[in-house]
Every structure is written in C-alpha cells, then in structure tokens.
A and B are shown apart, each in its own frame.
Chain A
Amino acid sequence: MDYFLTEDQEMLKELCAQIAREKILPMREELDESGEFPWEIVKVLAESDIYGVYIPEEFGGFGGGALEMCIATEELSKICGGISLAFAASALGAYPILLFGSDEQKKTYLPPLAAGEKLAAFALTEANAGSDAGAIETRAELDGDEYVINGTKQWITNGGEADIYSVIVRTKRGTGIRGISALIVEKDTPGFTFGKKENKMGIRASTTRELVFQDCRVPKENLLGREGVGFMVAMRTFDKSRPGVASQAVGIAQGALDEAVKYARHREQFGQPIASFQAIQFMMADMATQIEAARSLVYSAARMVDSGAKDVGKISAMAKLFASDVAMKVTVDAVQILGGYGYMKEYPVEKMMRDAKITQIYEGTNQIQRSIIGSAVIKESAAKEKRGE
C-alpha cells in the first residue's frame, strides 16, 4: 500500500519502526506489568530527534506537522500503545503552546520539548468535568502580576513525569465556557504537587496522575492567548491532536493483526494451519480492511490539518471515532484468533486489547466525537439551505 509519503516521512517511519523493534519490544511486557514510566525510551526518542517531528524548525523541530506526529505515533504503537504515549501525550501538551503561544512562550517552551529534554502534558479533566469541559472548577485568580491557581486535575497523562503543563482553568466564575482560560505551569512551581498515580486497565507504561494546585502562583505571562479563550484552546488543540490518538489506535490494531496472522499461519489444528480455514481468513480480511480504512481516514485528517484548513473539527473527530472503534474490534478479534493463548499474558494481544479501550474514551469519548460530527453535519446542511442550494 502506497500512502504517498515523502522521502522524509518514509525515513521517519523507518526510524520509528526500528526504535519500536529494537528498544520498545524488549521492554513492553515488563513495563505493562510494573507500570513504570519508560524514561529509557524517552531518551532514545529524544536522541533520534523524534520529539521534534511536529514542531517548526525555528523552534528546534523537524518542521513537520500532524501527519509526521501520526506516523511516529502509529509506528511506536504497533509495538506498544502505552509506551508510545510518552511521545504522543507530550505532543498533546505542546499543541496549546504551538497554537496559541506568544513568540516569547514558543521560544521558551518549544525548543526543550522538540529536543525531548522536557515532556509536556495537557490538563483539562476534573472529577466533575470531563466531556462537559465547561464545568471545570479549578480556579485561577489574578493577584497583581500572578495567577493563583487552586483545584485538582484528574487522569492527566504524563502527570508528574512532564515538566511543562498546559492547564485549563476558570478565571471567571459562573460564566460557563466563556470564563475559561489556559495557563502554562511548570513542574516544581511552589503549590503544584501530584496526587495519586492511577492503576489502569491498559496503557500501563503511561503515567496517569492527579495534579494538585494549592495557592500555586504563576506569572501572568504564562497565560495562553487571552482570558476567556481557554475553551477554544482546548477544542482547537483536540482538533489537531485527535488524528494522533487515531494513529495510536491504528498502530495498536495493526500490531494485533500482525500477531494474529503470524499465529494463524503457524498454529495447526485438524492437521492444517488455522489460517487455511475460511472462518479465520474472513476475520483477518475484515480486520485488515478496517485498519486500511482507518489509516486512510487518519492520514486524510492529518493532511487536512497540515494544509491549514480552517475547520478540521469534524474530520479529526471522525478519524478518532472510526480508528478507535476499529482498534477495539480488531484487538478483540485478534484475541479470538489466538484462542486460549490470546487470553494469556505470554502473547501480546490481550495487552493490545486492554490498550485499545482507552482510545475510545480519552481526548473526548466516542460519544462526544459523534456529537461533534452530528452538529457539524447539521450546520453544513443549514448553511447550504441558507445559500439556497
């Protein structure tokens, strides 16, 4: 299959595949078990320039965009959808700065992220605000030249490991989404601590943690954009980052299919490899077709994001929705093809099945994706009617 990648993109893909094969594969089982953060892999990715792929050259990056971010995420996720997040979640945390940061903020924060010297994280979710982002309660009040932050963020990927946090806060009470702003908060800022580390079903090599703010003071220069645009910062960030989650899903699905096909070719029952049975072949055919469709949609979405197109919310949501549903279905079927072996930890497909589930949940549940797509479709139709079409 030719995805019409440039020579540089092919090079990136090849390098990420090599890193996954040589460095991630030997560690994935152990880290899935222990839940330890893959610092060793972070170092390898940093030395190979992977952290800079989506960051402009003027800020020390490779000058690529969403497609490069997707290519890297997919290749790493083929081997481990948890370890790949040490890369992908940092991109999610960097996007608000990339999209809304001032020149000064970009110059300060992007180069160390591009070099992989520091990791970023994005903090929106709270105990009572997930899908309903407008309900966030973490407060930031201006006191002289500083914002004073109080509140707790929940389930933050890279929490505690990252140095740079893009935090969505409420700067005005009772004004719904219009009272929301985005702040950059650095690790080790007094008043900023980390709560419990979650014990998760999947993506266990990725750290998910609470961020606790108690009278945490940050300079007002850390505001992204201006006050009141925080909800937009979050939404625009997701528009750009959702192809990334989608590519994580495609990678996990592809990894599971590869394992299933390999197993089916070697596993013999009734005197022949189970791959020769139509029942298995048709499952593999459906899995492969779904993955190909998902990948095509993800690459299209990423290319649209990179084209600078104005409204990418719908296509990004579609890519995330479709690819994550494919990942769930394909990994469940991969476990089925491996049968009893698939259910055991000796084979990687049960882990892939656990890892796949989160892609339907985070960066907006698939129900939220459907409502984004649904309202976009309705708006488009109404606009057509207005134009008299």
Chain B
Amino acid sequence: MNILVLIKQVPDTTEVRIDRETNTLIREGVPSIINPFDTYAIEEGLRLKESAGGGTVTVMSMGPPQVEGALREALALGVDDAILLSDRAFAGSDTWATSYTLAAGIRKRGDFDVVLCGKQAIDGDTAQVGPGVARLLGIPQVTYVRKLSLDGKRCVAERMMEDGSDVLGVPLPALFTVVKEINEPRLPSLKGKMRAKKAEITVWGVSDLDVDDREIGLDGSPTRVMTIFAPELRKDGAVFEGEVDETVPLLMKELVPILKAEI
C-alpha cells in the first residue's frame, strides 16, 4: 500500500504575535513546526502501512526551501521518502493554487492508494487544501476522520460529526483528512533521526510539473485578503427567560431595530 501524506510547515502559534499596525503575523524569530494536525496524518500513514504489511509512506509539501526541516522531521518518524514542491513561481499561492500544485505533484509521483492530510492548518484554519486536492485528482474524500482501517481493497473511515459519527466504506485511491482523536503520534527514534539527517529530499519546481502557469502562485490565486482583524468583543448581551411564546416576540422587538439600523 502506497500512502502519500501532505504536510505544511507552520509557525508555532503558541509563540506567534500579531503586528497591530499591519495585522499580519510576526514570523521573525518564531520557530517553525509541522502543522500539528498533519502529525496525526503522518502517524496514521505509518500505521496504515504497518497494517497493510508493506508499501511506502511518502510526505509531500509545498513551500520555500526551509520546509526541508519539516520533511526531515517526518523522515525521522519512519516515513520512507519526502518530496518538496518548491519554486519562486509557487509563492503567494492561496488554497486554490496550493491544491492545484499539490495535485500536480501527486500525479507526477503517481502510484498511490491513499492520500492523508490533517483536517486543517493551524495558521490559516481553512481546511480547504485536502478537499481541493481530492477534487482535482478526481478521487473520493472523507474529511474529519477519527478512525481509519483497511478492509480488503477499500478503507473504512469513521467521520467525526457534531452529533456522532458516520462510518463509510471508501474505494481506493481516496483522500482522508484526519482529526487529532485518530491516534497518538510516535516520537522519533535515534536511528530515524540519523537516517533523516542523511536522506535525500526530492525537490520539484515548475519545470518538473505538468502545470498551467496561470493556475499557480499569486496569479493562480483568486483569494484576495482585504484586511485581517480581530472581531470586537460585544459584552452587552441579553437573556430572555420564560416560555417561547412570550420570549420570541420580546426578542424580535429588540432585534429588529438593531438589524434595521445596521442595514
């Protein structure tokens, strides 16, 4: 069974501050880590390979050259090989262009049964890249997976819902995004760390991939961030107690003028 795990390098948000002038993250001096949700995807990839009794686990990421650090961390955990999609032309990608580029990388790599991602990245919190990649590859996807097992030629995925869970049988190849309830990631080993230090990391740029120049990087990114702000905290809430028949009219009486004023 060949498994691809998509990971993202993110700033350690426990140490990130926001520049109040520009409303952007101050990244200087902030250590980079593997997106925590992706560490569960890596662990699940390793476990899936172990339960399948063979195959490979490959990690792939898109980003600047320093993402190599995150890929080596994954290699130290026992991942077989690592691919970095890195090119100046990829800079400024939003989730659309990122999904497009990663899908092109996966097609070039070929020969995979399962693609795993974390449910979202802790910096952008969009949860869009995993589903985007699945759509572009034309394969089934299950998001928010908290349990994954192999059942012959398909996978059985338990999707976490607000009110319980769905159990889905999924033909392969397929993409799954995982939640932290799925497993407890292992720590690296000394031998793994030594292997990771020496490992060769494959780097692919624009010329290595079958991509349309208009679909990548900033040009390929329809998202425009107009402004980033922290919503003001409203403290003047009110509670209406009593029977619904009585409280709803009271609520409407308060609410309607406010809504009208805002429009």
Contacts and interface: CB of A to CB of B under 8 A. Distances in A.
Binding between chains A and B: yes
Interface of A: 7-8, 11-12, 15, 18-19, 22-23, 44, 47-50, 52-53, 62
Interface residues of B, number: 9
B187 A48 contact: yes
23 contacts: A7-B197, A8-B194, A11-B190, A11-B193, A11-B194, A11-B197, A12-B190, A15-B187, A15-B188, A15-B190, A15-B193, A19-B187, A22-B187, A44-B187, A47-B187, A47-B189, A48-B189, A48-B190, A49-B189, A49-B190, A49-B191, A52-B190, A53-B190
A7 B194 CA distance: 10
Query: Which applies to chain B's interface (DSSP): helix, strand, loop or mixed?
Result: helix
Contacts of A47: 186-187, 189
A12 B186 CA distance: 16
A11 B191 CA distance: 10
B210 to A, nearest CB: 39
Given A12-B190, A18-B187, A47-B189, 14 more contacts: A11-B190, A15-B187, A15-B188, A15-B190, A15-B193, A19-B187, A22-B187, A47-B186, A47-B187, A48-B190, A50-B190, A53-B190, A62-B190, A62-B191
Contacts of A62: 190-191
Interface of B: 186-191, 193-194, 197
A8 B190 CA distance: 9
B187 A23 contact: yes
A18 B33 CA distance: 14
Contacts of A50: 190
A50 B194 CA distance: 13
A52 B189 CA distance: 11
A83 to B, nearest CB: 15
Contacts of B186: 47
Contacts of A11: 190, 193-194, 197
Nearest to A18: B187
Contacts of A48: 187-190
A386 B187 CA distance: 57
A44 B186 CA distance: 8
**Which among A8, A18, A44, A49 has the highest number of chain B CB atoms within 10 Å?**
A49
Contacts of A15: 187-188, 190, 193
Nearest to B185: A22
A181 B186 CA distance: 42
A19 B186 CA distance: 10
A12 B191 CA distance: 10
A50 B186 CA distance: 14
Contacts of B197: 7, 11
Contacts of B190: 11-12, 15, 48-50, 52-53, 62
A283 B189 CA distance: 38
Nearest to A14: B193
Contacts of A22: 187
Nearest to B190: A49
- Sorted nearest first, the 8 A-B pairs with minimum C-beta distance are A49-B190, A49-B189, A48-B189, A11-B193, A49-B191, A48-B187, A62-B190, A19-B187
Contacts of B189: 47-49
